[in-house]
Chain A
């Protein structure tokens, strides 16, 4: 622990040496701003280095961080989820009313909001947005958003009032309107085919920035909207953004991103590996680690697979996993050890660390009971079959290959083989839809609402357990108790009862040992010392509206 207390000292020393070397006055500014905050400076362009190119900017596809990083600057949402309190505040909607049973939502739309092409953002535009996100538009291949459940239809009551109707209670909808997937775009954007929305210049939003130009797969240039005047009330900035523009450049190599930042070629970078954090902070640069408030970085079982269909086997593997060792060996303090299926900052979290204890003796006993005996080569077997499992690494997750290999070592100690596969996307996607070919899958999803747990485990959503009735055509396994709990969570209008239902889901998932939580996955950014006022939305996507560049 003492290592981290020393870091600020080291940073101060590094800053001082920079100053001595006559390297601009940035370090000096930083020192004074800690005591007396300086006024934001307007102007300048921020160079933001992304790890991957955006794929599609249809707002419901904004969950992918490179997509969300752009969408969060160019679109506004109906409501604003305060990242500190996670409370829902007014934004494009001045106010709203929710019916008692949460089947009707009425929003009053703020006056004078326009899209960057000049068209008004009125009730009709809002209605069209949510009709599309709630129902999809098959003719244009636009899919349904995962944050909207039980959507039926909308009704425009007048220019400023819109009402949404749901087939079942949908208490998650209000928070859903604040997520990245519910960014409001112009009617002309929604009239385009899904495929065309990969082109950033096609996306017209009402956000503080607009897309100026794009070099596909390489760079996106965003420009400030001078007439922007509809920020959420709690924002310190109420006018135009301080920055003149943002240049998003795709830089895939970790070492090139870090090096560019430290040599002054970039101002902010996304995706900093834990082993690089110290290199950044020791030079006086800032590391921003944001919790993603959702389902933890974890391993889910496909219980239909015959090797893991026995509850005792799954429990044994749960207790053979030492998540503390994973965190200590591979990560930093920004990656807290998981204590439940959900992150400790997520809504509806319950501490289940007692159920998740690392206990190899218990693990071995459970495997013995289940009839898996240690063979001559140290691997357990039953009826001539060895307990050999496999899992595909998940490229977007931090150091996933190393994480899985460490877990494999831990499992080997109780006589279970885990092979970590790095297949091509086609094999991975196909195999992970077939429980016979994939006993395990890496799972994680971020969203600051209890509905996140339904997103991960419900058959027609991400279907992590590969239940029948969803994405897996051959699956026959179903846990109706789990699905009942998930449905109860997603349609329970009373908040307290809803959080309780979310806790029940977590208890059930762990009692059935469907999921092995590892750690709370953050989004980690690093920025130059002169980048001030950087904001983040509730699941860690950057917001550049209040960002400004100090003299440097």
Chain B
């Protein structure tokens, strides 16, 4: 187990390093730079010589390789650099914005899970075929709704027409309701889709017929036997959905005027604030690595046939797949 964990951590460090390096190269290749964008034009309109002075003060006069090594060294010591646009250290910016995004994203994810599980359970338990058909088409509807449009529509209906929740100057809870819902809907779609499919697949496997033959009720079968097996693919998807969460947060925070990582990412992209973008990329990569590690560690908890001892896991999952296809054939 310990060896497995160390291996995964080494992998994670490699992923982080590659993400950092690729971003560094790509950002350097863009035309213009943050100093130019901030100080050129408008009422300040500095001369090229003045711009050069400011660049020097940010250490931009060294060769790219030296800058890169500096950046790596700084990251290792916890110094994420300085935001040209905001005029504060990136760590300050992150500290101010990370909490609100974490709250938004985790609540959004939790609501998405509730939505997805609800759709899957109701559609598999319902005796009405029409309801099942309706629920089966919900995920494709949800995933095709643009987050941006959904946010504005929710505001129009619940805040401006019905006046149930204010968008301006509400309490913490009030200001979270609509954004969380906006974020949750598109995230719930792939989860629900996978859950519904895998519940259907597991339900036709021979062991389920055995359980049923022993006289178990439909809900007992679903809870005790099917759900547990059907969660695995959904869990895999959940790990991947982190990216959707981050993208959704950018849009949601913009529409609702919330502060957060999404907002600073958008600003940083607009203004080519390289240090901030590097930090955001590192943070997202770190999030991915951690979430996927957790997901992998959860597999054996849910399915005792899977062990984390390296290669066996894949073999086990393939074996499971063979059983499934055999059953449906």
By a beta-carbon cutoff of 8 Å, the part of chain A in contact with chain B is 47, 49, 55-56, 60-64, 138, 141, 143, 145-146, 181, 193-199, 215-218, 247, 249-253, 255-256, 259-260, 262-263, 265-266, 424-433, 460-463, 470-471, 473
The answer, among B40, B96, B156, B272, for a CB contact under 8 Å with A259, is B156
Given contacts A56-B87, A198-B86, A217-B267, contact A429 B152 (CB under 8 A): no
Beyond A62-B43, A138-B50, 7 extra complex contacts between A and B, CB < 8 Å: A49-B168, A218-B257, A259-B160, A260-B160, A424-B269, A424-B270, A471-B48
Contact B44 A60 (CB under 8 A): yes
Which residue of chain B is the closest to A473 with respect to CB atoms? B48
Residues on B with C-beta less than 8 A from A181 are 43
Q: Say yes or no for B54: interface residue by CB 8 A criterion.
A: yes
Residues on B with C-beta less than 8 A from A195 are 87-88
Can you report 7 residue pairs joining A to B where beta carbons are below 8 Å apart?
A: A61-B44, A252-B257, A266-B168, A426-B32, A462-B41, A462-B42, A471-B47
Residues on B with C-beta less than 8 A from A62 are 43
Residues on A with C-beta less than 8 A from B257 are 218, 249-253, 256
Contact B168 A460 (CB under 8 A): no
- Write the nearest CB–CB distance from B34 to chain A, whole angstroms: 8
Q: Say yes or no for B18: interface residue by CB 8 A criterion.
A: no
- Write the nearest CB–CB distance from B305 to chain A, whole angstroms: 50
In the bound assembly, the distance between CA atoms of A215 and B160 in angstroms comes to 25
- Write the nearest CB–CB distance from A456 to chain B, whole angstroms: 11
In the bound assembly, the distance between CA atoms of A64 and B38 in angstroms comes to 12
Q: Which residues B153-173 have CB closer than 8 A to chain A? A: 155-156, 159-160, 163, 166-169
Residues on B with C-beta less than 8 A from A61 are 42-44
Contact B45 A461 (CB under 8 A): yes
Q: Say yes or no for B72: interface residue by CB 8 A criterion.
A: no
Residues on A with C-beta less than 8 A from B30 are 424, 426-427
Which residue of chain B is the closest to A260 with respect to CB atoms? B168
In the bound assembly, the distance between CA atoms of A358 and B258 in angstroms comes to 46
Residues on B with C-beta less than 8 A from A262 are 160
- Write the nearest CB–CB distance from B329 to chain A, whole angstroms: 53
Residues on B with C-beta less than 8 A from A470 are 47
Given contacts A143-B46, A196-B87, contact A426 B152 (CB under 8 A): no
Given contacts A141-B57, A462-B45, contact A426 B31 (CB under 8 A): yes
In the bound assembly, the distance between CA atoms of A146 and B42 in angstroms comes to 9
In the bound assembly, the distance between CA atoms of A63 and B257 in angstroms comes to 23
The answer, among B39, B87, B96, for a CB contact under 8 Å with A198, is B87
Residues of B within 8 Å of A, CB-based: how many? Answer: 49
By a beta-carbon cutoff of 8 Å, the part of chain B in contact with chain A is 30-33, 36-48, 50, 53-54, 57, 85-88, 96, 152, 155-156, 159-160, 163, 166-169, 254-259, 263-264, 267, 269-272
Rank and list the top 5 A-B pairs by shortest CB-CB distance, nearest first.
Answer: A426-B32, A195-B87, A63-B43, A265-B168, A259-B160
In the bound assembly, the distance between CA atoms of A232 and B88 in angstroms comes to 37
Residues on A with C-beta less than 8 A from B264 are 217
In the bound assembly, the distance between CA atoms of A199 and B179 in angstroms comes to 27
In the bound assembly, the distance between CA atoms of A252 and B168 in angstroms comes to 12
Which residue of chain B is the closest to A255 with respect to CB atoms? B152
Given contacts A216-B96, A217-B263, A260-B168, contact A63 B42 (CB under 8 A): yes
In the bound assembly, the distance between CA atoms of A49 and B168 in angstroms comes to 9
- Write the nearest CB–CB distance from A8 to chain B, whole angstroms: 25
Contact A425 B270 (CB under 8 A): yes
Residues on B with C-beta less than 8 A from A431 are 31
Given contacts A256-B255, A429-B32, contact A265 B166 (CB under 8 A): yes
The answer, among A64, A249, A428, for a CB contact under 8 Å with B43, is A64
In the bound assembly, the distance between CA atoms of A516 and B32 in angstroms comes to 28
Contact B167 A218 (CB under 8 A): no
Given contacts A215-B259, A256-B167, contact A265 B32 (CB under 8 A): no
- Write the nearest CB–CB distance from A17 to chain B, whole angstroms: 17
Which residue of chain B is the closest to A67 with respect to CB atoms? B43
- Write the nearest CB–CB distance from B99 to chain A, whole angstroms: 12
In the bound assembly, the distance between CA atoms of A193 and B82 in angstroms comes to 14
Residues on A with C-beta less than 8 A from B32 are 425-430
In the bound assembly, the distance between CA atoms of A429 and B159 in angstroms comes to 39
The answer, among B33, B155, B272, for a CB contact under 8 Å with A256, is B155
In the bound assembly, the distance between CA atoms of A218 and B96 in angstroms comes to 12
Which residue of chain B is the closest to A265 with respect to CB atoms? B168
Contact A429 B259 (CB under 8 A): no
Given contacts A430-B31, A460-B47, contact A249 B169 (CB under 8 A): yes
Residues on A with C-beta less than 8 A from B152 are 253, 255-256
Which residue of chain B is the closest to A395 with respect to CB atoms? B270
Residues on A with C-beta less than 8 A from B272 are 424-426
- Write the nearest CB–CB distance from A253 to chain B, whole angstroms: 6
Contact B271 A425 (CB under 8 A): yes
Given contacts A196-B87, A255-B152, contact A146 B45 (CB under 8 A): yes
Which residue of chain A is the closest to B54 with respect to CB atoms? A141
Contact A217 B45 (CB under 8 A): no
In the bound assembly, the distance between CA atoms of A31 and B77 in angstroms comes to 66
Residues on A with C-beta less than 8 A from B254 are 252-253
In the bound assembly, the distance between CA atoms of A287 and B37 in angstroms comes to 33
In the bound assembly, the distance between CA atoms of A97 and B44 in angstroms comes to 29
Which residue of chain A is the closest to B82 with respect to CB atoms? A195
Which residue of chain A is the closest to B46 with respect to CB atoms? A143
Contact A253 B37 (CB under 8 A): no
Residues on B with C-beta less than 8 A from A141 are 54, 57
Residues on B with C-beta less than 8 A from A251 are 167-168, 257
Contact B259 A463 (CB under 8 A): no
The answer, among B50, B169, B256, for a CB contact under 8 Å with A265, is B169
Residues on A with C-beta less than 8 A from B258 are 218
- Write the nearest CB–CB distance from A380 to chain B, whole angstroms: 30
Residues on A with C-beta less than 8 A from B40 are 429, 433, 471
In the bound assembly, the distance between CA atoms of A49 and B46 in angstroms comes to 31
In the bound assembly, the distance between CA atoms of A251 and B168 in angstroms comes to 9
Which residue of chain A is the closest to B51 with respect to CB atoms? A471
Residues on B with C-beta less than 8 A from A193 are 87
In the bound assembly, the distance between CA atoms of A280 and B37 in angstroms comes to 35
- Write the nearest CB–CB distance from A538 to chain B, whole angstroms: 15
- Write the nearest CB–CB distance from A54 to chain B, whole angstroms: 11
In the bound assembly, the distance between CA atoms of A141 and B46 in angstroms comes to 11
Residues on A with C-beta less than 8 A from B42 are 61, 63-64, 462
In the bound assembly, the distance between CA atoms of A195 and B163 in angstroms comes to 41
Contact B255 A253 (CB under 8 A): yes
The answer, among B37, B88, B160, B169, for a CB contact under 8 Å with A425, is B37
Given contacts A256-B257, A260-B167, A262-B160, contact A429 B155 (CB under 8 A): no
Contact B36 A146 (CB under 8 A): no
Which residue of chain B is the closest to A143 with respect to CB atoms? B44
Contact A430 B36 (CB under 8 A): yes
In the bound assembly, the distance between CA atoms of A63 and B42 in angstroms comes to 8
In the bound assembly, the distance between CA atoms of A262 and B163 in angstroms comes to 11
Which residue of chain A is the closest to B272 with respect to CB atoms? A426
Residues on B with C-beta less than 8 A from A215 are 259
In the bound assembly, the distance between CA atoms of A61 and B255 in angstroms comes to 27
In the bound assembly, the distance between CA atoms of A487 and B35 in angstroms comes to 29
Residues on A with C-beta less than 8 A from B166 are 265
Which residue of chain B is the closest to A464 with respect to CB atoms? B41
- Write the nearest CB–CB distance from A232 to chain B, whole angstroms: 24
- Write the nearest CB–CB distance from A279 to chain B, whole angstroms: 12
Which of A251, A256, A262, A461 has the most C-beta atoms of chain B within 10 angstroms of its own C-beta?
Answer: A256
Which residue of chain A is the closest to B50 with respect to CB atoms? A143
